[in-house]
Every structure is written in structure tokens, then in C-alpha cells.
């Protein structure tokens, strides 16, 4: 049984109730014994909070075991916490050798929370903090947030979580090549024509309009999740597991910057219109009716790295698509043939060879991403988490795209809800005599 002290800021929020507490419960079934202090502004007693939490647990946790839940909940206490009241933080003081503070709060409050925690000694070397994205909206804001946090916590104490990186199916992008010399040899510039990465959702923004409208698809999905997937797909296959962080950083730093011409010819942005019984984006709840926010992005990029010279990468992500799909497709040179790695809806590996049909294997997706990442924090393993330098490298590539959109160098193209994006996204590949793969 492994013990830890777990302080959760923002404990009454949707993310905490829907993802973090269920993950902690599942981890407790695997042997973790967390002593949890739940904190939020709501003036609740511990019994009142536990009533609320138990109701949500029945909704979000499949096969909930009442006795196991009771044992888990017995180690949860609730403390009202106002960031403007320094005295509230004194109640959190901990001497546990393994203390984790999870920031399930808006990044705008990160700096203030760190300052208040440090004031009561909750930044000692044994304390780890877990930060949810987004960390900034561009390179400078990312640097500013990290600098504020860095005043109180060292880099080795900081775990910047990306639940996509926590998925075993995503981590397998590296392990498949790392553990299979045959694949490692094939998935290289010598044999590959190009690589495609798609993250498509049939859902619209639903009730997240207030969050999504200032962000858009480029910031919400491509800058973090998709560039991380690209890095895991391209780091050298012989990289030791403990060096994956540095290897990912090397790949992100090798992204070829987009100049003014390539920003026009290699980037597509779109916004879904009404169709198929669905509202258009600007009709969604909490969305500006005149919004110019993109709900779809497609782009072509290259890596200035010796292992990937001459191999273009095509990335696309969008909402209200014709299918829900997360997929990496390695397309080989010569006749149409590819290795298709599907992460969602079902994790699978499919080798398509001309004249032989397809060889497909379904893979185990592994444990829940949040459960896995929490256990990695407890163990002190930072490899599945983002280093500050990784975030900055990704923003450095994305910033010129954002700037070009502010200058209207790339038009915002409409596409029908339920389609696969604007025509320009297909032309992006067609002009190179290629086409998008869709294997659901």
C-alpha cells in the first residue's frame, strides 16, 4: 500500500468530479492510499461535500463498489479555500514525505496559488504540483505563467499534465517503434512518403463555448496534444525511456518555421456552419455570434531533423466532423500502402499492403489516462509530463500562425457540420498528389 497526501484545488469543479476523483478511486483499488484534502471556495462541510461527490461518483464511475468507495471516501476531508485569504492556506500545511498539490483551477489563478502555498511552506522539496493546461495563449503568456510559478517551485517539482500523453495508446506511438526493430526500420525517412495525424470529433463545442471561443482548435488541440503526438511518433526508436522528454524537445525544436508564403499555402482554418440538424458554431451557447474562432485546422509541416528530411507531416483537427477519430497514418513510398495506428475509437494497429488487403490487430488501451498520470506523479516520474522547454518550443512554432490569422492572411472557411472540413483541407494534400486517410 503506497501512501500520499493529495491536496486538490478546485475540488468542486467539473474536471475534479468527472476525472480526478474517479482516477484516485481507481488508483486506490490498485494499492494507492491517498489522504485527500479537497479545496474549493464553496462553504461546505466535509459531509456535505462527500454527499455531492458520492452522487457524481455514481454517475461517472462504472462498476462502483459501495464498500470500496466508502473506504476511499473515509480518507477525504473538505476545506473551504479563498485565494484572497492567506489564513485559509495555513490549514493545508503538510509534513507528509510525498505531498501532491493538484491545480484543477484556471491558469489565471496559478501564480496566486503558488504564492500563497509558498507563504505557508507548501513549496518544500518533497512537494509536487500538478498543473492542468492551458498554460498561456501564446509564447509570451506561457513564459510569463511559468516565470511566476518558477519563483516558488523548481522544475523538478512541476508536473504539467496533458491527459493525451497519459493515454497508454498515445505512449505506444513510441513503444511500438522502441520495442519492434522491424517497425523502427520501416518508420523512417528512407521508406516513408509522408505522415498524417488526425484528431476529429463529431461533437461541437457543447457547453464549453465560454472556454473554447477565446481558444480555438489551434490552441485547444493542435499546439499541445497533436504536436506531442508528432514528437512521440518521431523521436529516435533507440531512445532510452528515461530520455524521452529530451528527445521530444529535440523534435519540437526541429519544427521548420512557417514563413509568410507557407502560412498562406500550408495552413487551412475553418468554422462549422449549421447542417445535419446541428447548429452552426456562432449559434452555440456562450459563443460570440460574430466569432472568427476556428473549429478546424489543417496544416503541412516539416522537421529539420536528419532522421526526417523530406518527409512532410499533415495534421488536421476539427469539431463537428463526419467521424470521431484519433489516428496516425504512416504512408510508405511506392504504391498506396500504410501503417495505420488508431487511438480512438478503438486502439488498433493496421498494416495495409497493396494486393494483400489489411492486417489488423486490436490493442489494449491500458488504464485510464488520469489514473496513470497520478500514479506517475506519486512515483516521481516526470517523463510523461511536459517540460517548460517543450511548451515553449510548441508555442514558438504556433505563434506565427496565430499572428497571420490576426492579420487575415489565412481566410476562415465555412464547412458543413458533419463533414470532414473545408475543401481547402483536401486540396492541401491534393496539390501534392496525396489524400487523407479515413479508417474508422
Q: Per-residue pLDDT tens for 33-45?
A: 999 999 999 999 9
CATH number, domain containing residue 297: 3.30.360.10
- What number is the average pLDDT over the span 8-32? 95
Q: Inform me whether the pLDDT recorded for 357 exceeds 60.
A: no
DSSP assignment, residue 273? Answer: E
182 in the same domain as 96: no
243 in the same domain as 319: yes
246 in the same domain as 127: no
Q: Does an H or E element contain 251, and which?
A: helix 244-253
Q: Inform me whether the pLDDT recorded for 358 exceeds 70.
A: no
Q: Binding site: residue ranges?
A: 41, 82-83, 133, 163, 167, 201, 220, 319
147-156, 196-205, 271-280, 349-358 — which is least confidently predicted? 349-358
203 in the same domain as 102: no
Closest CA to 139 of 403, 425, 428, 407: 403
Q: Is residue 438 part of a domain?
A: no
Quickly state the pLDDT bin for 176 (edges 50, 70, 90): confident
Q: Which is the catalytic residue, given 225, 290, 387, 439?
A: 225
Strands (E), 201-262: none
110 in the same domain as 16: yes
Q: Inform me whether the pLDDT recorded for 355 exceeds 60.
A: no
Cis peptide before 134 (omega within 30 of 0): yes
- Write down the pLDDT at residue 9: 97
Burial class of residue 114, CB neighbours in 10 A (0-12, 13-18, 19+): buried
- Write down the pLDDT at residue 67: 96
Among 132, 150, 179, the domain-final residue is 132
Q: Which residue has the higher pLDDT, 164 or 348?
A: 348
Q: Is residue 152 part of a domain?
A: no
Q: Inform me whether the pLDDT recorded for 95 exceeds 90.
A: no
318 in the same domain as 190: yes
196 in the same domain as 126: no
Q: Binding site for substrate: residue ranges?
A: 163, 167, 201, 220, 319
246 in the same domain as 183: yes
Q: Is residue 144 part of a domain?
A: no
* Mean pLDDT across the chain: 92
Quickly state the pLDDT bin for 174 (edges 50, 70, 90): confident
Q: Per-residue pLDDT tens for 98-114?
A: 999 999 998 889 999 99
Among 115, 132, 149, the domain-final residue is 132
59 in the same domain as 195: no
Question: Active-site residue 190, yes or no?
Answer: no
Q: How much is the pTM?
A: 0.92
Quickly state the pLDDT bin for 362 (edges 50, 70, 90): low
175-179, 269-273, 393-397, 412-416 — which is least confidently predicted? 175-179
CATH number, domain containing residue 90: 3.40.50.720
Residue keyed to cell 519492434:
180
92 in the same domain as 219: no
Taking the C-alpha atoms of residue 188 and residue 191, their distance in angstroms, rounded to an integer, is 6
- Write down the pLDDT at residue 354: 64
Q: Indicate left, alpha or beta for 433 from its phi (over 0: left) and psi (-120 to 50: alpha).
A: left
- What number is the average pLDDT over the span 389-408? 95
Q: Binding site for NADP(+): residue ranges?
A: 41, 82-83, 133
Q: Inform me whether the pLDDT recorded for 414 exceeds 70.
A: yes
Taking the C-alpha atoms of residue 386 and residue 392, their distance in angstroms, rounded to an integer, is 10
Domain count, the chain: 2
Q: Is residue 67 part of a domain?
A: yes
Name the percent of the chain lying above pLDDT 90.
74
Reading the block at residue 44, the C-alpha cell is: 461546505
Quickly state the pLDDT bin for 88 (edges 50, 70, 90): very high
Q: Is residue 120 part of a domain?
A: yes
Domain that holds residue 61: 2-132
CA 321, 322, 327, 330 dihedral sign is negative
- Write down the pLDDT at residue 208: 87
Reading the block at residue 89, the C-alpha cell is: 492556506
Amino acid at each position: 500500500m503506497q501512501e500520499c497526501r493529495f491536496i486538490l484545488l478546485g475540488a468542486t469543479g467539473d474536471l475534479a468530479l468527472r476525472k480526478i476523483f474517479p482516477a484516485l478511486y481507481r488508483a486506490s483499488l490498485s494499492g494507492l492510499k491517498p489522504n485527500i484534502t479537497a479545496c474549493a471556495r464553496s462553504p461546505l462541510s466535509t459531509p456535505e461535500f462527500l454527499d455531492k461527490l458520492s452522487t457524481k461518483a455514481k454517475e461517472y464511475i462504472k462498476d462502483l463498489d459501495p464498500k470500496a468507495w466508502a473506504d476511499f471516501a473515509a480518507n477525504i476531508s473538505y476545506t473551504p479555500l479563498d485565494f484572497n485569504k492567506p489564513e485559509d492556506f495555513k490549514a493545508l500545511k503538510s509534513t507528509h514525505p510525498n505531498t501532491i498539490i493538484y491545480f484543477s483551477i484556471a491558469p489565471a489563478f496559478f501564480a496566486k496559488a503558488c504564492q500563497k502555498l509558498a507563504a505557508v511552506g507548501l513549496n518544500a522539496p518533497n512537494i509536487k504540483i500538478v498543473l492542468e493546461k492551458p498554460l498561456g495563449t501564446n509564447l509570451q503568456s506561457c513564459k510569463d505563467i511559468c516565470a511566476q510559478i518558477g519563483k516558488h517551485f523548481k522544475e523538478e517539482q512541476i508536473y504539467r499534465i496533458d491527459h493525451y500523453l497519459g493515454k497508454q495508446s498515445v505512449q505506444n506511438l513510441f513503444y511500438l517503434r522502441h520495442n519492434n526493430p522491424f517497425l523502427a526500420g520501416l518508420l523512417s525517412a528512407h521508406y516513408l512518403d509522408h505522415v498524417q495525424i488526425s484528431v476529429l470529433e463529431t461533437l461541437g463545442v457543447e457547453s464549453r463555448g465560454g472556454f473554447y471561443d477565446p481558444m480555438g482548435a489551434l490552441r485547444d488541440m493542435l499546439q499541445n496534444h497533436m504536436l506531442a503526438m508528432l514528437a512521440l511518433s518521431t523521436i529516435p526508436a533507440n531512445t532510452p525511456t528515461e530520455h524521452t522528454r529530451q528527445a521530444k524537445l529535440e523534435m519540437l525544436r526541429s519544427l521548420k518555421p512557417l514563413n509568410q508564403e507557407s502560412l498562406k499555402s500550408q495552413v487551412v482554418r475553418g468554422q462549422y456552419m449549421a447542417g445535419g440538424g446541428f447548429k452552426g458554431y456562432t449559434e452555440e451557447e456562450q459563443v460570440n455570434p460574430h466569432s472568427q474562432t476556428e473549429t478546424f485546422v489543417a496544416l503541412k509541416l516539416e522537421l529539420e531533423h536528419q532522421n526526417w528530411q523530406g518527409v512532410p507531416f499533415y495534421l488536421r483537427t476539427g469539431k463537428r466532423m463526419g467521424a470521431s477519430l484519433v489516428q496516425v497514418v504512416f504512408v510508405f513510398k511506392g504504391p498506396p500502402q500504410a501503417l495505420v495506428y488508431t487511438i480512438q475509437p478503438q486502439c488498433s494497429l493496421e498494416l495495409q499492403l497493396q494486393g494483400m488487403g489489411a492486417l489488423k490487430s486490436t490493442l489494449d488501451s491500458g488504464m485510464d489516462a488520469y489514473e496513470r498520470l497520478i500514479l506517475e506523479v506519486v512515483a516521481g516520474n516526470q517523463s510523461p509530463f511536459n517540460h517548460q522547454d517543450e511548451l515553449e518550443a510548441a508555442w514558438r512554432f504556433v505563434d506565427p500562425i496565430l499572428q497571420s490569422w490576426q492579420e487575415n492572411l489565412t481566410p476562415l472557411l465555412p464547412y458543413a457540420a458533419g463533414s470532414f472540413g473545408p475543401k481547402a483541407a483536401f486540396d492541401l494534400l491534393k496539390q501534392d498528389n496525396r489524400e487523407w486517410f479515413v479508417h474508422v
